[in-house]
Amino acid sequence: MTTTGLSRAEIEQLDSMWKAPGFVPTLIAVAAAFGAWSLLLPVIPLAVIEAGQSETLAGASTGVFMAATVLTQILTPKMLRTFGYNPVMVFAAFMLGVPALGHILGMDAWIVLLFSALRGVGFGALTVAESALIAELVPVRLLGKATGMLGVFIGLSQMLCLPLGLAIAERAGFDIVFVIAAVVALVAAVMCLAIPRLKAAPKADPSAYRHPEERGQPEVSTWKLVLVPALAVTSLSMSFGAVSSFLPAAVREIDPVTGAVIGGLMLSITGGSSMVFRYLAGMVADRRGLPGTTMIPAQVVGFAGMALMALVVANGWSVWLLVAAGIMFGGGFGAVQNEALLSMFYRLPRSKVSEASAVWNMAFDAGTGLGSFIFGAVAAQLAYSGAFGTGALVVVLGIAVTVADAVIGRHRIAEHGNIRARLRQVPVAGRFSLRRGRKAVGSEPVGFEELITRDTENPGWNEPGAVEPGTVEPGQNDSGRRP
């Protein structure tokens, strides 16, 4: 399936993610794609408002973009299996870039919404492909750091391009920004040509991942396994939709002279914080061998940042207080992004890597689009501070869902037919004896907490020699146990 000749077993033997063929071109392509997106993310709503259109249309420009993105993401896993990563990613980058030139025609509603939707098609396919491709290219034990590094490149791109688009628009006009965004997206298309030719893994029989005693039991639906991490991402991405669309305009009301540029700087700070904490969350996950440790604390920090942002805008406090708000919100958002993506990879078999990526991206982008659209309507009625305050309340709902899942999970029976089979190989010294661990792997279902603490002879996902989920070592049966 690849032009590099590396099998999955050979990939697992790599001692560095940087040695994985195609990893670096993928990162550059992703950075360019998100650069094109970030250049226009705050610029188009601002251009709509300056053209005399309503805040509702300004928010709808992002909302329609994200709606097209999500609809495309639903179809992308099938396209990746049919055509492979390279053709899909090249086409997606082309669609993300060329329609940006259409915004030069004006800010009439139909122009804004049409070309936003066309760009959304490209962005949707590209985001699903890049997240799934990372999981295909790197060793499983380095997946946390690899997805974290993906976040670093995305964050650097956003740090540069979010304020750059606003600064260029301030000095040279909006049309120049549209042209630059198109060129940057085409750079992504060129880099996609250097990625190994892969097709997404075909769907596998879920019974291949089960104990013999478990076969015949009903398969757990994918949506049940990924719902909670998806909602965690959605709650924060909705708030991000409000921040990215309206923070520059809100700051300009506080400081009419330099407000737009400062607003772009705040977005850059938010992106930088997201980048750093996303990578740190990946390091924690790799160290522990499972995701979820930083999820709830990150959500709480994200809420605090959003609430502070609302208070600063409502009371006209110094715009520099938004630095602290941006760091908190961005940091929490970044950690949640990585935790949620790893949780989805962790709960599903390798044959559903592209589905996990699609669900994660749909949660992110649907939240961003809904946030831009809904909070745009809220801003029209309650001002920008009302939109940010409502966003903080949405984050609280996400925290409640995650906490409830954590509490219920202490008593949950182990799921069937998913990547949690890997947990049978995670060693936790001193928690359970080997004898008790073997007993727990018997025919009776066991609780999730007991499942993750068993002590076995096999290494965990963060140790050399880890067994790939859904595969069988020589001398083992399909449950991963020695006969």
> Per the confidence metrics, is the pTM higher than 0.75?
no
Domains in the chain: how many in total? 1
Structure tokens at 207: 């019974």
Average pLDDT, the chain: 77
Q: What is the mean pLDDT of residues 411-430?
A: 45
pLDDT at 179 over 90: yes
**Is the pLDDT higher at 388 or at 4?**
388
Query: Is 151 part of any domain?
Result: yes
pLDDT at 184 over 90: yes
pLDDT of residue 154: 84
Query: Is 453 part of any domain?
Result: no
pLDDT at 320 over 60: yes
Q: What is the pLDDT of residues 129-174, one digit of tens each?
A: 887 888 888 887 788 788 888 888 887 887 788 788 888 998 899 9
pLDDT of residue 28: 92
pLDDT band for 199, please (50, 70, 90 cuts): low
pLDDT at 307 over 90: yes
pLDDT at 414 over 80: no
pLDDT band for 202, please (50, 70, 90 cuts): low
At residue 413, φ and ψ (nearest 5 deg) are -75, 145
Q: Looking only at Cα atoms, what is the longest distance across the chain?
A: 74
pLDDT of residue 200: 64
Query: Is 46 part of any domain?
Result: yes
Residue 128's domain is classified under what CATH number? Answer: 1.20.1250.20
pLDDT of residue 218: 52
pLDDT at 480 over 60: no
**Is the pLDDT higher at 131 or at 104?**
104
Per the structure, the complete domain to which residue 44 belongs is given by: 8-409
Query: Is 457 part of any domain?
Result: no
pLDDT at 477 over 60: no
Distance between CA atoms of residues 355 and 357, nearest Å: 5
pLDDT band for 471, please (50, 70, 90 cuts): very low
> How far does Cα 483 stand from its chain's mean position?
40
pLDDT of residue 194: 83
pLDDT at 183 over 90: yes
pLDDT of residue 259: 66
Q: What is the pLDDT of residues 231-271, one digit of tens each?
A: 999 999 999 888 877 887 787 777 776 666 677 777 778 88
Query: Is 334 part of any domain?
Result: yes
pLDDT band for 19, please (50, 70, 90 cuts): confident
Query: Is 79 part of any domain?
Result: yes
Q: What is the pLDDT of residues 26-66, one digit of tens each?
A: 899 989 988 998 898 889 988 998 888 887 788 788 778 87
Q: What is the mean pLDDT of residues 412-427?
A: 44
pLDDT at 3 over 90: no
Q: What is the mean pLDDT of residues 397-402?
A: 92
Query: Is 470 part of any domain?
Result: no
pLDDT of residue 205: 55
Q: What is the mean pLDDT of residues 222-229?
A: 80
Query: Is 104 part of any domain?
Result: yes
